[in-house]
Structure 1
Amino acid sequence: MSKAATKSPKPPRPTAAELDLLRVIWRLGPSTVKDVHQASLSERPDLAYATVLRLMQVMHGKGLLTRDESERSHVYAAAHAQDALQTNLLRELIQKAFSGSGKDLVLAALSEHVNAKEREEIRRFLKETDNE
């Protein structure tokens, strides 16, 4: 068997709107369109139910969501674990935007996108991993 045949397929890359819905589904767990729509309204009060329905159907078609059709209201769940999908997206970002350098990504993030509390958490994490 070839190497490509034994390798698990990469999760599809979600759009920004799909990623927003995935974050809701990861937080809620398996959910109906109505559940996801209601949970999304606090951040996006203008979001229409029909938009959520259409996006979730597309996401199911792309393999981002699974769908249980055994009940009247279909229940959708994330097809990929949050950390697996985020790791894949991060790997792509490092390759494309930072020429494969994880260090350059971290330095860019630390210089502009991390507050004091987060810096302290990062220091603790680095200290703990250095001691292992």
Structure 2
Amino acid sequence: MRELGSSQPTAVELELLRILWELQPCPVRDVHNRLAEIKQTNYSTTVKMLSVMLQKGLVRRDEKKSPHLYRAAMSRKVAAKTFLNDLIDKVYDGAAMSLVLQALATGKASPEEIAEARKLLDQMEGRK
């Protein structure tokens, strides 16, 4: 199995992972039906994508069941942490605060998210 952080999944692979995190374990047909709601694709393409993802170690397949059931190889939380660490290392030279500042500077943070960030910073500084 390859390490997830060594090569980021494509945009379509991320869509499939999101579907699997929600539905898993599930057969290809369920994954395909959900994917078809998002984008035009045919069943054989979904099968091929899952096969590639299996080779990459992004998904697992239970071959004891019929039809085969697929699941993500790692939880959404673990994947998010892996992707985030990879982004911080590659784009921000390991400076996590630079990522946080950039994210907040986009202006897309809600007042609730800004308050949550302030609370976290206060906790990190030892204030409550």
Runs (4+) of structure 1 exceeding 4 A deviation are 124-132
Report the counterpart of residue 40 of structure 1 in structure 2. 35
Query: Does 2:10 align with 1:10?
Result: no
Cα separation, 2, equivalents of 1:52 and 1:115: 36
Kindly report the root-mean-square deviation, in angstroms, between the aligned alpha carbons of the 2 structures: 2.2
User: Kindly tell me: are residues 125 and 36 of structure 1, through their superposed partners in 2, closer, same or farther at Cα, counting changes over 3 Å?
Assistant: farther
Q: Where does structure 2 lack aligned partners over 5 or more consecutive residues?
A: none
Segments of structure 1 that go 5 or more residues without pairing to the other structure are 1-8
> Corresponding residue for 2:67?
73
CA–CA distance in structure 2, aligned partners of residues 51 and 126 of structure 1: 46
Deviation of 1:23 (Å): 0.8
Matching of residues 1-132 of structure 1 within 5 Å = 10-11=3-4, 13-44=8-39, 46-112=40-106, 113-126=108-121
User: CA distance change for structure 1 residues 95 and 51 in 2, over 3 Å: closer, same or farther?
Assistant: same
Deviation (angstroms), 1:20? 1.1
Q: Quote how far apart the aligned CAs of 1:127 are.
A: 5.4
Deviations 1:67-104, CA, capped at 9 Å, x for gaps: 11123311011111211121111111111111111000
Quote the Cα distance in structure 1 between the aligned partners of 2:64 and 2:112: 46
Q: Secondary structure at the match of 1:66?
A: strand
- Give the TM-score taking structure 2 as reference length: 0.81
1: CA distance, partners of 2:33 / 2:115: 35
How many percent identity over aligned positions? 35
